[in-house]
Structures are given as C-alpha cells and as structure tokens.
C-alpha cells in the first residue's frame, strides 16, 4: 500500500484514469478534485506504483470526525485485478472497518 502525495504522480495518475473513462469515473473524479485544490481533503492509495492494479481514494483520517457518518466517509475504488483489490480492501491501513463508510467503484470487467 502506498499513499500518493507527489503532485506529478497524481497528475500522471489522472491521465491514466482519463484514458479509461467511463469505467474509472468515481476514482478519476476524486483524483481530479485532489489535483485542483483538494477541497474534500481526500488522499489516494495504490497497491504499487507506477504499475498499479488498484486505486483507492478516501478521506484523510483526520477529516472524518464522526465514525458513524458514512456520507462524509466516501471511498472510491477502481481495480484491474480482483485479488489485488481484495487484498487492499482487507488491509486495515487502507480502510478503517471500524467506521461506517460508502465504497463506490468498478473495474474494466463490469
């Protein structure tokens, strides 16, 4: 698991996701917002870089004040590999399963 903080990597990721629209729409939209000021205070998690198989966007941990509020705790995921996605989602550092959250996502196979 790797949190992307570098603006050049995030710009590159946005370009990769744009080439695969509309399948990547929820994740691409979140990455676009992050690249344009990040008003929702989200971050991007990938399994590996630059050959990622899973991209997850989530609010930064300090942003979610109420652990029961799944409206502010929205995650978006896109994956190329189902097993890599499952591994990332099971990682408690990637997703806090003790909080209520929404998960939106897709794959190129849906």
Q: What is the pLDDT of residues 31-53, one digit of tens each?
A: 999 999 988 889 999 999 989 99
**What is the structure's pLDDT at 64?**
73
The number of residues making up the chain comes to 110
Domain ranges for the chain: 2-106
**What is the structure's pLDDT at 30?**
92
Whether 72 shows a pLDDT value over 90: the answer reads no
**What is the structure's pLDDT at 110?**
57
- Other C-beta atoms closer than 10 Å to the C-beta of 2 total 12
What rounded mean pLDDT belongs to the chain? Answer: 89
**What is the structure's pLDDT at 58?**
92
Tokens of 108: 């190129």
**What is the structure's pLDDT at 45?**
95
Q: What is the pLDDT of residues 11-29, one digit of tens each?
A: 999 999 999 998 899 899 9
Whether 61 shows a pLDDT value over 90: the answer reads no
End-to-end CA gap in the chain: 24
**What is the structure's pLDDT at 99?**
86
Q: How far apart are CA 39 and CA 30, in angstroms?
A: 10
């Amino acid at each position: 698991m790797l949190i992307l903080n570098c603006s050049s990597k995030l710009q590159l990721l946005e370009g990769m996701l744009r080439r695969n629209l509309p399948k990547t729409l929820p994740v691409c939209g979140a990455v676009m917002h992050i690249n344009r000021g990040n008003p929702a205070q989200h971050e991007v998690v990938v399994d590996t870089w630059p050959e990622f198989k899973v991209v997850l966007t989530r609010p930064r941990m300090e942003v979610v004040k109420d652990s029961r509020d799944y409206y502010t705790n929205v995650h978006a995921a896109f994956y190329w590999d189902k097993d890599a996605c499952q591994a990332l989602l099971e990682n408690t550092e990637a997703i806090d399963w003790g909080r209520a959250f929404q998960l939106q996502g897709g794959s190129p196979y849906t």
